[in-house]
Amino acid sequence: MMRSFGLKPVSISSVTLAHMAQAQQVFHKLYAGAARDAAFIHTTFDQMSTKCAWTRREIAVYDRVASHANTKPLLLLPNSVYLQSPAPGAAPTCSCSNVQAGEPYQLQLVHGIQSAEHEGVQAGPLRAACSAVAAAAQLVHPSRTCVALLAKPIDRLAVRTRIDLRGVGETLKREHNVHTVLYVSMADLARTKLDSSGDLILDEHRISVIYSRYDFSHPWGRWVDPLPLDGGSAPTEELLAEWPAIERMELSNAIISSSLGCRLAHRRKAQHAYVRGGGLDRLLSFSEAKVLRTALPQQWSLDPAQGDGSEEREAQALILANPGAFVAKNVLRPRTGSGVTQDRLASGGQIVTEPDDLMNLARSDARAWYLLFRKVALLPHEAEIVHNGTVQHLSATEAASEVAAFGCYLDDGAGNVIMDQVAGFGARTRPTQSTHPLAAALGYGALNAVRT
């Protein structure tokens, strides 16, 4: 086990668990609909496209592949991350929505330990996610399935991610009878070819499904036009080389666990459009939209060019009145690094939390690619964290957790839903105070299971 992890599961009420489960399936419908709704995608991203060459390229590729990609099977393996407030009766707030479930294998190891010692521990997403991947592969090549697990090149891949991918791959082979599992990078997929049937060919393999653990987010975390020579997370030349491979993947028969349309549907800009731009009402029924309005946070664009500018003026007034009550998040959510521990404020999306920093941001041009959110006070709890082989005890006021609901969704591209379920739950636990000795070491937090 390469990750720090909890010995005691995070306790949540059965009411909260049911709320998260209900919302997760509504999220599936929302993302599936948004991914295939070209008008929504353009309404959401066109203004940004005029200012950012990278976004402009994304939307251009989406337009070229949409007619094919939107009619082939769609696989979603998302997760929704919630913050629990200590306020009595308060519903959990969905602070983040990820297009791809992270670390399902290592979370399964934590579940195995905790379920042997505690009652009511909820399953993680590993087996349900692998079942969905295997079912998708059967749709493409029923007699000889091939799943390609996509991540960074091995020399840039965090060891914990490498271990997790191997665990997923072995589960696919041993428990779900996937014939061939490949471990690939974008450089490998750049060598693929399309044959006359539309199959995606890599060497002698016909790829059925691409299970993506690759970060396709914005490389720079700011509007760029023209593209800089320095690619930030990788050389710009290497970043640009992704696009022909992406286009080929989208135009092939291969099902992608996070297609370009699905990635756009998960972006913070899209989340803002759901809440502030009428996206929920466009894509969901009244009752479904009501479920997500309870879950999604109130937010404001800090871009003075957003709409008539009134949203940004309201945000500025809120910051001026009480800067300590808010956080700002980069709408582009730049690509993460591959260190042993990622910095959840920097690589986790450039989150501005300190009042002075927020005031400075509000006065800068950089505010244009940020969104403002109210801070959520976290519910503290006791925890026992295994870190570097030793058990660290955190008192009832020293630990807090983000709880994630994981989902699986698969349709056949012709309107028939094959799988739509909550895949499991998990958590990340960390100290409540950033000055705690474990805070920097744990980064996003120690993996944990959830119980009711």
| Residue 298: per-residue pLDDT | 95
pLDDT tens for 256-266 read 999 999 999 99
Q: How far apart are CA 328 and CA 332, in angstroms?
A: 12
- CA atoms within 13 A of residue 328's CA, in its CB half-sphere: 28
Note the pTM of the prediction, 2 decimals.
0.94
β-bridge partners, 98: 79
pLDDT tens for 125-158 read 999 999 999 999 999 999 999 999 999 998 888 8
Two tokens, residue 9: 């599961």
**Portion of the chain with pLDDT greater than 70, in percent:** 96
pLDDT tens for 283-302 read 999 999 999 999 999 999 99
**Portion of the chain with pLDDT greater than 90, in percent:** 85
Two tokens, residue 59: 């939307």
Over residues 364-392, mean pLDDT: 95
CA quadruple 82, 88, 90, 94: dihedral, nearest 10: -10
3-state secondary structure of 303: coil
Q: Mean pLDDT across the chain, nearest whole number?
A: 93
The one-character DSSP state at 195 is -
Over residues 99-113, mean pLDDT: 90
pLDDT tens for 413-422 read 999 999 999 9
| Residue 338: per-residue pLDDT | 47
| Residue 339: per-residue pLDDT | 44
pLDDT tens for 405-444 read 999 999 999 999 999 999 999 999 999 998 898 988 888 8
CA quadruple 118, 124, 126, 127: dihedral, nearest 10: 70
Confidence band, pLDDT 50/70/90 cuts, at residue 233: low
| Residue 90: per-residue pLDDT | 85
Decide: 10 and 429 in contact? Cβ < 8 Å: yes
pLDDT tens for 12-36 read 999 999 999 999 999 999 999 999 9
β-bridge partners, 79: 98, 406
The pLDDT of residue 101 is above 90: no
Two tokens, residue 450: 């959830």
Confidence band, pLDDT 50/70/90 cuts, at residue 403: very high
Two tokens, residue 383: 């925890």
3-state secondary structure of 256: strand
Decide: 286 and 300 in contact? Cβ < 8 Å: no
The one-character DSSP state at 316 is H
| Residue 10: per-residue pLDDT | 97
pLDDT tens for 317-358 read 999 999 999 999 999 988 865 444 445 444 445 799 999 999
β-bridge partners, 402: 83, 428
- Select the more confidently predicted residue: 148 or 160: 148
Q: How far apart are CA 100 and CA 284, in angstroms?
A: 22
